[in-house]
């Protein structure tokens, strides 16, 4: 018997057509245990050897174990040497997923502009904008009034009594119009937002930017 063509092709392929001992190209498929000793035509008994190594080691029974080990090692190396590292690839894929390209950003921008311009978010009417400005002015005025009140009550500042009476009444009116919690106290950030919103709305209605004359 002899190795089948299919098995020989398989062995050559696993060895990348190279001798498992000297790595020379061009191999014969060698019976590790010779056919004369009942060596089988199996993959386990087949070693890829070049003609020279075949000649040198092939007939030496002492070298059988060595050939087998060399073959296993060479198969292992062949299986890995052109293979990609899947873990590394996963890592790269993971990183690529996190990367936002400029095209992604442009697509996002288009989407956002389309959303803003959609009917669903039609521009506010001038009435709505004016109302919002009134609300912001109330809140900002009220906060300033409280600061002034502290100074007046501590005697640091004097305000003409009739003006002060009017101011206190106006403050009561504000307190009636807004639920508790909507009139501060504000953090620096919230205070900045109030003034920023007011500035933006006034800009929409024609004021210059940073027109903070309240
Ligand atoms: Zn060789």
> Of residues 96 and 54, which shows the higher confidence score?
54
Structural domain contains residue 94 = no
Residue 91 lies in a domain: no
The number of folded domains in the chain is 2
CA–CA dist 99, 126 (Å, integer): 41
Gap from CA of 54 to ligand 1 centroid (Å): 7
Q: Do the domain assignments include residue 103?
A: no
Tens digit of pLDDT for each residue in 47-72?
999 999 999 988 899 999 999 999 99
Instruction: Calculate the alpha carbon distances from 213 to 7, 70, 141 in Å.
Output: 91, 88, 11
Question: 27 CA distance to ligand 1 centroid (A)?
Answer: 8
Taking CA atoms, 64 is separated from 46, 70, 73, 170, 171, in Å, by 11, 10, 14, 105, 103
Ligand 1 mean position, distance from CA 21 (Å): 5
The answer to the question of residue 46 being in a domain is: yes
For residue 49, give the DSSP letter: E
- Gap from CA of 28 to ligand 1 centroid (Å): 10
Residue 176 sits in which domain range? Answer: 123-204
State in Å: Cα 71 to ligand 1 middle.
11
List, as one string, the DSSP characters of 68-81: HHHHHHHHHHHHHH
Percent of the chain surpassing pLDDT 90: 64
| pLDDT above 80: residue 117 | no
Given this model, what pLDDT does residue 181 score?
85
Boundary (domain end) residue, out of 81, 108, 134: 81
Q: What is the pLDDT of residue 115?
A: 81
Assign residue 160 a region: left if phi > 0, alpha if psi is -120 to 50, beta otherwise? beta
Query: Which pLDDT belongs to residue 91?
Result: 83
Tens digit of pLDDT for each residue in 189-205?
999 999 999 999 999 88
pLDDT of 141 reads 94
How many whole angstroms from 89 Cα to the centroid of ligand 1?
A: 35
Q: What is the pTM of this model?
A: 0.46
Residue 115 is assigned to a structural domain of this protein: no
Q: What is the mean pLDDT of the chain?
A: 89
* 57 close to 86: Cβ distance less than 8 angstroms: no
pLDDT surpassing 60 at residue 104: yes
């Amino acid at each position: 018997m002899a190795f089948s063509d299919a098995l020989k092709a398989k062995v050559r392929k696993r060895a990348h057509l190279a001798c498992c001992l000297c790595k020379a190209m061009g191999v014969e498929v060698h019976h590790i245990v010779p056919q004369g000793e009942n060596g089988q035509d199996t993959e386990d008994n087949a070693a890829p050897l070049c003609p020279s190594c075949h000649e040198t080691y092939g007939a030496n029974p002492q070298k059988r174990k060595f050939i087998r080990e060399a073959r296993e090692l060479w198969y292992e190396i062949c299986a890995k040497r052109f293979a990609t590292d899947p873990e590394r690839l996963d890592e790269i894929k993971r990183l690529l997923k996190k990367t936002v390209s400029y095209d992604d950003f442009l697509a996002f921008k288009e989407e956002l502009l389309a959303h803003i311009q959609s009917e669903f978010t039609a521009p506010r009417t001038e009435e709505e904008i004016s109302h919002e400005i009134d609300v912001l002015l109330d809140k900002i005025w009220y906060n300033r009034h409280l600061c002034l009140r502290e100074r007046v009550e501590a005697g640091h500042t004097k305000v003409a009594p009739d003006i002060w009476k009017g101011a206190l009444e106006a403050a009561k009116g504000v307190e009636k119009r807004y639920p508790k919690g909507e009139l501060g106290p504000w953090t620096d950030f919230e205070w900045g937002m109030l003034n920023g919103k007011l500035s933006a709305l006034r800009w929409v209605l024609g004021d210059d930017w940073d027109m903070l004359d309240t």
